[in-house]
Chain A
Amino acid sequence: MMRHSVVLDYKRCRGCTSCIKSCPTEAIRVRGRKATILPDRCIDCGNCIRVCPHRAIKSVGDKLDEQLSRFSYCVALPEPALYAQFHNLDDVNIVLSGLMEIGFQKVYETAKAAELISDFIRQGITAGQSADTPQISSSCPTVLRLIRMRFPKLLPHVENAILPMELAAVLARREAAADTGLPPEEIGVFAIVPCSSKVTAARVPEGLDRPVLDGAFAIRDVYLRLLSPMKHLERVEPLSTAGILGLGWAACGGESAARLSQRCVAVDGITNVIRMLEEIEDGRLPEADFLELSACTQGCVGGCFTVENPYAARMRLKGLMKGLPVSRNRFLLLGEDRDIVKRNKELQYVPAFVLDHNREQAMAKQLKIQQLEEHLPGLHCGSCGAPSCHAFAEDVVLGRASEDDCIFKVRERMLQEIAGGSATADDYLPAPFRRQQPPKA
């Protein structure tokens, strides 16, 4: 089960169907003039949030004050994409010191954890550990969900490493417990993330059997809180312990660069990612060692929770790297402790697209879908609430819609029945157009 962080503002949504076509997994339908998400299919890519003209689809991070007040000691895990949001910033430490002013007692950079993961991976490469190639990056939770749903054959290619924010959480909690003597569960560990996908991942991890974070805040929310304290800092503490490679993870290509010697392909944007996965699935890129896949344009700096234009953010990130050491973290843990980088839960296939678990039934349904589709207009107008005539035919056969939801089908029927019927009745409109009372909640 996934607990999505994407939510609908019921008042704002006008059922305009813009979002349904932007969804790469066809997970949205309009019902009763409102967008609804098929939860099993949503991969939290944030596309719908970006295209909604009424700003009705939103994703919410956890509420800062509410969460911080739950704990006496709180650790911030800022993603490096946060640093790229500020004008004229020349020192990451200003951001980190600012975090200490707004209610956190400690900061632990996700970029540091990223460097540790990169070092861990490089050690594996040097040791000649065999793996299914090309290896696929495991750092974007949206991509992980996409692979689980649509490319199960590629699951063995996914690198066995948890997200940098997850490793950061484990290590930060340990450090904080040692520093303070508090029991680990009394320490609040919060990631500051660029996208809805990571908010969901903080609640329901892909590769861990239980959450290691206490919550995740949107970069956008933290950004607003940081602006003033960052201007009025009494002193800037030298808190940062990450280098160029760690900061680089915020933009597409950065994770690849941190592997140093491998032949890497870095792909950004969910549509491009899907296209690349199709090719890899057919074995069409045998020379690549590693695929870095980011659902967002330009990587995490393009996340739907960021403030700055992703291209500008990328440039700023480069500026912040100036003068930094290449990497400041080595992965030196030995024995069982080494395994904290690895997943402790297998990535499993989620057959969200399969028409029926019984293949004979699935084939029967496919036949019905094709028959129905032949009689649909093929305009993909979206009036039925589905993204395409094919998706609509699927919905009808799977019991998620009625044939009469197609305005063209209804017009056909009206023309046949018009002689005796009253043409003004709401009944003649397809269900997605019928007025409906908002739910009480």
Chain B
Amino acid sequence: METIKLVYPVEGGDLIEAGEASSKMKLTLKKLGLPQEVIRRASICMYEGEINMVIHADGGQAEVEVDMDHILIRMRDTGPGIPNVDQAMQEGWSTAGATARELGFGAGMGLPNMKRYSDEMSIDTQVGQGTTVTIIIRVPQA
């Protein structure tokens, strides 16, 4: 079976529209008849990733690959990069600016949540170059 590929651009600086990619992906996953719990986890990860890209990286791109046994979500940006990944993975750690915090974001739960709701996660980041976060959610076989 060929892999289904979905690509969603994420606009920078637009916290109001953040979540659109997650909603669109969710509808497609529902049409595929994937288990509801898998869809929920994928969309939580996607939403967190979108917010991260909007707040920290002036946008980016979300790529989704759906196979029979797993969903892979790759969130790619050309933002400032993450200087200390271990620190970023700590719950409550955030470098979000005042604007994002005023809107209720910046709780430092973005990456930890993605970790929690995915089965595998890897972060490829270079300061000044950008960040690519890849997560995999396995689809339980019926």
Which of A's residues lie within 8 Å of B, judged by CB?
150, 152-153, 278-279, 281-284, 351, 353-357, 359-360, 362-364, 366-367, 370
Residues of A within 8 A of B40 (CB): 153, 281-283
Residues of B within 8 A of A278 (CB): 19, 23, 26
- Asked whether A282 lies within 8 Å of B68 as measured between CB atoms, the reply is no
Report if A359-B43 is in contact (Cβ < 8 Å); known contacts: A278-B19, A282-B22, A370-B4: no
- In the docked arrangement, what's the CA distance between A284 and B30, Å? 19
**Closest chain B residue to A279, Cβ basis:** B19
- Asked whether B31 lies within 8 Å of A362 as measured between CB atoms, the reply is yes
- A sample of 9 inter-chain contacts (CB < 8 A) reads A278-B23, A283-B40, A354-B31, A355-B31, A363-B1, A363-B68, A366-B4, A366-B32, A367-B4
- Asked whether A359 lies within 8 Å of B4 as measured between CB atoms, the reply is no
Residues of B within 8 A of A284 (CB): 47
- In the docked arrangement, what's the CA distance between A150 and B36, Å? 11
Residue from B22, B26, B30, B43 within 8 A of A354 (CB atoms): B30
Q: Does B28 contact A (CB under 8 A)?
A: yes
Report if A354-B33 is in contact (Cβ < 8 Å); known contacts: A153-B40, A278-B26: yes
- In the docked arrangement, what's the CA distance between A281 and B38, Å? 12
Top 10 nearest A-B pairs (CB, nearest first) are A153-B36, A354-B33, A362-B32, A278-B23, A362-B33, A355-B31, A353-B31, A359-B33, A282-B43, A282-B44
Residues of B within 8 A of A282 (CB): 22, 40, 43-44, 47
Residues of B within 8 A of A354 (CB): 30-33
Interface residue range, chain B = 20 to 34
- In the docked arrangement, what's the CA distance between A281 and B26, Å? 10
Q: Does B88 contact A (CB under 8 A)?
A: no
- Asked whether A356 lies within 8 Å of B47 as measured between CB atoms, the reply is no
Q: Give the Cβ gap from B29 to chain A, nearest Cβ, in Å.
A: 10
Most buried by B among A282, A355, A359, A366: A282
Residues of B within 8 A of A351 (CB): 33
Residues of A within 8 A of B33 (CB): 351, 354-357, 359, 362
Q: A284-B47, A355-B33 are in contact. List 4 more A-B contacts (CB 8 A).
A: A281-B26, A282-B43, A363-B4, A363-B32
Residues of A within 8 A of B30 (CB): 150, 353-354
Residue from A152, A357, A367 within 8 A of B2 (CB atoms): A367
Name the interface residues of B1-57: CB closer than 8 Å to any CB of A. 1-2, 4-5, 19, 22-23, 26-28, 30-34, 36-37, 39-40, 43-44, 47
- Asked whether B43 lies within 8 Å of A364 as measured between CB atoms, the reply is no
Residues of A within 8 A of B1 (CB): 360, 363-364
**Closest chain A residue to B22, Cβ basis:** A282
- Asked whether B36 lies within 8 Å of A363 as measured between CB atoms, the reply is no
- In the docked arrangement, what's the CA distance between A188 and B31, Å? 43
**Closest chain B residue to A356, Cβ basis:** B33
Residue from A150, A359, A367 within 8 A of B34 (CB atoms): A359
- Asked whether B44 lies within 8 Å of A359 as measured between CB atoms, the reply is no
Residues of B within 8 A of A356 (CB): 33
Residues of B within 8 A of A153 (CB): 36-37, 39-40
Report if A366-B28 is in contact (Cβ < 8 Å); known contacts: A357-B33, A359-B68: yes
Name the interface residues of B60-82: CB closer than 8 Å to any CB of A. 66, 68
Residues of B within 8 A of A152 (CB): 36
Q: Give the Cβ gap from B64 to chain A, nearest Cβ, in Å.
A: 12
Residues of A within 8 A of B28 (CB): 366
Residues of A within 8 A of B26 (CB): 278, 281
Residues of A within 8 A of B47 (CB): 282, 284
Q: Give the Cβ gap from B65 to chain A, nearest Cβ, in Å.
A: 12
Q: Give the Cβ gap from B33 to chain A, nearest Cβ, in Å.
A: 4
Q: Give the Cβ gap from B113 to chain A, nearest Cβ, in Å.
A: 10
